[in-house]
Amino acid sequence: PSPQLLANKQVVITAGPTREPLDPVRYLSNRSSGKMGYALASAAAAAGASVTLVSGPTQLTTPAGVDRIDVNTATEMLDACQRVSAKADIFIGCAAISDYRAAAVATEKMKKSEDSDALSLTLVKNPDVIATIAKTYPQLFCVGFAAETQHLKDYAQRKLKDKNLQLIIANDVAGNKAFDQDQNSVTAYWHEGEKVFPEQPKRQLADGLIALISQLFNHAN
Ligand code: PMT
């Protein structure tokens, strides 16, 4: 996008997976690499925004000019987002955040059972980061992603409404798509429209998404 598109705007972006510990050596996580969120951070910075990237564990280097805060768990991600969103204009939730965490984290490594082949874990719900941020800071323009293996449009539009977002980026993650890939295709849904982004490199896709976000943001403000 043109360097002016997000001049003087503060953008908070979440990226990557979260890790929910089970014991000192094990965790629950997912296949997010952080590539899409980091590409968005790079594109937003190139569009003139001041960007804070709240990142789960990834192998990626921080894009030039971007402030990065590293977190592990969903709770840590929410705390970091709460701290940095008060003065922000736009919040983009690209992280793949665990919906659940262990009800209790074992302080010592869990031992393999001698007498049972099955192990049950009790999980409790994590806070919904983007829904909490949208509720706490109603002035924010909030953009979510929806990663779905079925009923993509329906589920994405439901998340748009239920989480009180301005825009949602629907990601078909059936098969080997989206997670950890260098290319992706998505469909953006907002309350008055939709737009298809065909398969392309994530950095190029990020430019297109940032252009759409700034257009809708300017229309709303
Ligand atoms: O990192 P990559 O390998 O490049 O892959 C990119 C991606 C596929 C991870 C990314 O493009 C993507 O789709 N991210 C959202 C993944 C996801 O967890 O979606 P969801 O449908 O479960 O969540 C919906 C929205 O709520 C998302 O904006 C998510 O950040 C947010 N959420 C979810 C759970 C939770 N507890 N708190 C949240 O804020």
Classify 100 as helix, strand or coil: strand
74 C-beta closer than 6 A to ligand 1: yes
Catalytic: which of 8, 30, 184, 218? 30
pLDDT classification of 3: cutoffs 50, 70, 90:
low
Per-chain mean pLDDT for the chain: 96
Per-residue confidence (pLDDT) for residue 33, from 0 to 100: 98
Inform me whether the pLDDT recorded for 4 exceeds 90: no
117 is in an annotated binding site: no
48 lines ligand 1 (CB under 6 A): no
What six digits make up the tokens of 4? 């002016």
Q: What are the sequence ranges of the domains in the chain? A: 10-220
30 counts as catalytic: yes
Please tell me whether 95 is known to bind a ligand.
yes
Report the alpha-carbon angle 121-123-124, nearest 5: 160
Whole-angstrom distance, CA of residue 193 vs CA of residue 220: 14
Indicate whether 111 pLDDT > 90: yes
Q: Is 91 annotated for ligand binding?
A: no
Distances (CA, A) of 7 to 2, 18, 66, 150, 174: 10, 30, 14, 38, 37
pTM of the complete model: 0.97
How far is it, in rounded angstroms, from Cα 158 to Cα 76? 26
pLDDT at site 164: 97
Give me the percent of the chain exceeding a pLDDT of 70. Answer: 99
Q: Take atom 35 of ligand 1 and give the residue whose Cα is closest.
A: 128
pLDDT band at 220 (very low <50, low <70, confident <90, very high): confident
Q: Is 177 annotated as a binding residue?
A: no
The CA-CA-CA angle for residues 113, 116, 121, to 5°, reads 75
Neighbours of 87 (CB within 10 A): 9
**Which atom of ligand 1 is found nearest the CA of 35?**
4
Q: Report the separation in Å between the CA atom of 32 and the middle of ligand 1, taken as the mean of its atom positions.
A: 9
Ligand 1 binding pocket includes 50 (Cβ within 6 Å): no
Domain 10-220's class?
alpha beta
Q: What is the pLDDT of residue 18?
A: 98
Please identify, by atom number, the ligand 1 atom nearest to the C-alpha of residue 16: 1
180 lines ligand 1 (CB under 6 A): yes
